[in-house]
Amino acid sequence: MDIDSLRHSCSHVMAQAVKELWPEVKLAIGPSIEDGFYYDFDRQEAFSDDDLRAIEKRMQEIIAKDEPFLQEEIDKQKALDLFGKLKEDYKVELIQALAGKISIYKTGSAFLDLCRGPHLKSTGQIKAFKLLSVAGAYWHGIETNPMLQRIYGTCFNSKKELDEYLKNLEEAKLRDHRKLGPALEFFDIYHEQAGAGLVFYHPKGALLRTIIEDYERKEHLKRGYQIVITPHIMQAELWKTSGHYDYYKENMYTFNIDEREFVLKPMNCPGHILIYKSKTRSYKDLPIRFFELGTVYRHEKAGVLHGLLRVRGFTQDDAHIFCTDYQLGQEIHNVIEFVIDTMKDFGFNRESLAVELSTRPQKFIGSEQDWQEATLQLEKALKEKGLAYEICEGEGAFYGPKIDIKLKDALKRKWQCATIQCDFALPKRFNLAYIDAEGKERQPIMLHRVLLGSLERFIGALIEHYKAELPLWLSPCQVLLIPLKETVVPYAEKIKKTLEENNLRSDIDRRNETLDKKIRSAELNKIPYCLILGEREETQSTVSVRKKGSGNQGTVTLDKFITELTKQVQEHR
């Protein structure tokens, strides 16, 4: 049974149940979504948990009646009159924007809804559903519009699938980076004085991010990238040339300085283009690969901000490759391999990757011929690499088609990370050129790409995937030293210095607490190793090792301990 039709039908039944329980409620929209469905309602009183239970009960009654879903197509004016009489203002507004025949669906003796469908044959085909939560949602997502109440639910073809999903949902709550991050003092997401959607990294979180950044710089230099840094503000004229001003302005922060309009950069590509244009380039120079850990700013609506996943200021591991047409295929291959190798180091194998190819949207720049060639090159590379992929029609960037490589975490959820965009348009708009072997000017092709994408989003994904129990090489504190007596503290300090000399991160717990409390604290703070240090260890020049999740590991020499941890770090474990 088609899952989208199933969930859309369940949303319809939920709306019917709400109208039967509270006839005064006005209906908005109720689509199926990736993990279920929702419906937006206009109701003066807030829906409570008791209300959700009442809605579920009424839905079960409707399902038990096995009522058919009956579609009818009517004239637009008749539809306006019909929903106007029912005082369904939101439906009337939707109908006014439609042309031709209007599709409606009926169930039961009285309920009808504006809907394209498709639906199931009858309500009795719905076997397993659950209402999950209530949230606020502005009509059309516009903050000046009325605030509606959105009821989320999910639906599956079997109770087994539903139970598994609900189990994962509970597990996801335990992994929520919005709770674990602040609890572990990695970051704060909101300060009232600063504003929403802005991330403040605390020392441990900043150290984690620095570890990731250092890894990225090293790996990019190994693969022939050149590190660049571009300004955070640039004149609006630059963004008009790039097309962002026309196609992306609603997401940009603009302001005036000395009677000139400036933009707080939402992208890094125009800055890299200016560096490319700073001097004459030869075919012998290409490919040129510029890499920047570039912080960008985007005007996201308050209603869509979500932890580290959707913020207003974030840093991308952004790179732009300028190459010839005969180099293009190999450069796309190289980027795909780079993505796979990088994800492997962070604990995600090839089977953890979900690949999508997005094609030309309705609004685009450049010629259709260039778009066809760019799409062909991306698709060819995916086929040659043996990667399965889905095609997302019309979801490319306004300047070129793209490959998106998403991560599937421990709960099989997808996280947007790597993107490879093939662009013929911006090099043409900026008059980019290189001198070929015959001394003639040629236009380079430009690849936009990120590996991890937004560092903020990737850190959120890591925290949820690992439940904040990060691999040793990523842990801000890798080893906690616990001296049993004050007299052993100098020995602990000596060990800490040796660990630091071997590039291992450690802290000393100097608190006047019991050993059990210190170990418990280390567990709660997700520290991979504890070294218990007493007079015996000092006398024998050894350390007593305790590993998170595995308990006591015995007593070893410090050299042996360092050798083992160094190996784990080098292998990205």
Residue 56 maps to which CATH number? 3.30.980.10
Query: Which residue among 440, 466, 492 closes a domain?
Result: 466
| C-alpha distance from residue 210 to each of 215, 225, 453, 455, 475 (Å) | 8, 19, 15, 10, 11
- Tell me, yes or no, whether 25 lies in a domain: yes
Q: How many whole angstroms separate alpha carbon 3 and alpha carbon 20?
A: 26
The residue ranges of DSSP E strands in 43-168, in sequence order, are 70-74, 102-107, 111-114, 128-138, 147-156
Residue 57 CA to chain centroid, in angstroms? 35
Laid out side by side, the sheet with 479-483 consists of 506-508, 479-483, 529-533, 542-547, 551-557
Residue 528 maps to which CATH number? 3.40.50.800
**Are residues 367 and 426 both part of a single domain?**
yes
Residue 365 maps to which CATH number? 3.30.930.10
Q: Residue 99: which pLDDT band, with cuts at 50, 70 and 90? A: confident
Q: Which two tokens stand for residue 131?
A: 């209402």
- Counting other chains too, the contacts that 76-82 makes at CB distance below 8 Å and 24 or more residues apart are 76/100, 76/101, 76/102, 78/102, 79/104, 79/114, 82/112
Rg (CA), the chain: 28
Which pLDDT tens digit goes with each residue over 221-275?
999 999 999 999 999 999 999 888 888 888 899 999 999 999 999 999 999 999 9
**Are residues 281 and 427 both part of a single domain?**
yes
Of the listed ranges 327-331, 347-351, 566-570, the one predicted with least confidence: 347-351
- Counting other chains too, the contacts that 52-55 makes at CB distance below 8 Å and 24 or more residues apart are 52/131, 52/134, 52/151, 54/21, 55/14, 55/17, 55/18, 55/21, 55/131, 55/151
Which range in 53-67, 293-307, 355-369 is most confidently predicted, on average pLDDT?
53-67
Q: Looking at residues 349-361, what average pLDDT do you find?
A: 90
Q: Looking at residues 403-420, what average pLDDT do you find?
A: 90
The candidate with the shortest Cα–Cα distance to 346, out of 419, 449, 418, is 418
**Are residues 97 and 156 both part of a single domain?**
yes
Give me the sign of the Cα torsion angle 393, 426, 234, 262: negative
**Are residues 407 and 498 both part of a single domain?**
no
Q: Residue 170 gets which letter from DSSP?
A: H
> Residue 435: which region, alpha, beta or left (left: phi > 0; alpha: psi -120 to 50)?
beta
Q: Looking at residues 314-324, what average pLDDT do you find?
A: 96
- Tell me, yes or no, whether 247 lies in a domain: no
Q: Is the pLDDT of residue 144 over 90?
A: no
Q: What range defines the domain where residue 291 resides?
A: 183-230+266-466
Would you say 409 and 465 are in contact if contact means Cβ atoms under 8 Å apart? yes
**Count of structural domains within the chain:** 3
Q: How many whole angstroms separate alpha carbon 343 and alpha carbon 407?
A: 8
Which pLDDT tens digit goes with each residue over 434-478?
999 999 999 999 999 999 999 999 999 999 999 999 999 999 999
Which pLDDT tens digit goes with each residue over 77-95?
998 989 889 899 999 999 9
Give me the sign of the Cα torsion angle 469, 470, 471, 473: negative
pTM of the complete model: 0.85
- Tell me, yes or no, whether 254 lies in a domain: no
**Are residues 407 and 540 both part of a single domain?**
no
The candidate with the shortest Cα–Cα distance to 270, out of 302, 292, 300, 303, is 292
| Residue 56, φ and ψ in degrees, nearest 5 | -60, -45
- Tell me, yes or no, whether 222 lies in a domain: yes
- Tell me, yes or no, whether 260 lies in a domain: no
Q: Residue 1: which pLDDT band, with cuts at 50, 70 and 90? A: low
Give the contacts of 110 (CB within 8 A, at least 6 positions apart).
none
Would you say 390 and 356 are in contact if contact means Cβ atoms under 8 Å apart? yes
Of the listed ranges 101-110, 182-191, 224-233, the one predicted with least confidence: 101-110
**Are residues 440 and 566 both part of a single domain?**
no
**Are residues 213 and 333 both part of a single domain?**
yes
Q: How many whole angstroms separate alpha carbon 496 and alpha carbon 498?
A: 5
Pairing state of beta strands 288-297 and 226-227? Answer: parallel
341 by DSSP, 3-state: which?
Answer: helix
Q: What does the DSSP assignment read for 380-417?
A: HHHHHTT---EEETT-SBTTB-EEEEEEE-TT--EEEE
Q: 533: part of which helix (H) or strand (E)? A: strand 529-533
Would you say 234 and 244 are in contact if contact means Cβ atoms under 8 Å apart? no
More confident residue, 279 or 413: 279
**Are residues 157 and 24 both part of a single domain?**
yes
Q: How many whole angstroms separate alpha carbon 456 and alpha carbon 314?
A: 6
Q: Is the pLDDT of residue 41 over 70?
A: yes
**Are residues 348 and 486 both part of a single domain?**
no
Q: Is the pLDDT of residue 208 over 70?
A: yes
- Tell me, yes or no, whether 94 lies in a domain: yes
31 by DSSP, 3-state: which?
Answer: coil
Would you say 552 and 546 are in contact if contact means Cβ atoms under 8 Å apart? yes
**Are residues 293 and 276 both part of a single domain?**
yes
Active site residues: 269, 298, 316, 318, 320, 402, 448
**Are residues 401 and 515 both part of a single domain?**
no
pLDDT of residue 524: 94
Query: Which residue among 412, 435, 466 closes a domain?
Result: 466
Q: Looking at residues 45-65, what average pLDDT do you find?
A: 94
495 by DSSP, 3-state: which?
Answer: helix
Q: Is the pLDDT of residue 109 over 80?
A: no
**Are residues 219 and 313 both part of a single domain?**
yes
pLDDT of residue 364: 86
Q: Is the pLDDT of residue 395 over 80?
A: yes
- Tell me, yes or no, whether 399 lies in a domain: yes
Query: Which residue among 411, 437, 466 closes a domain?
Result: 466
The candidate with the shortest Cα–Cα distance to 522, out of 544, 486, 505, 546, is 546
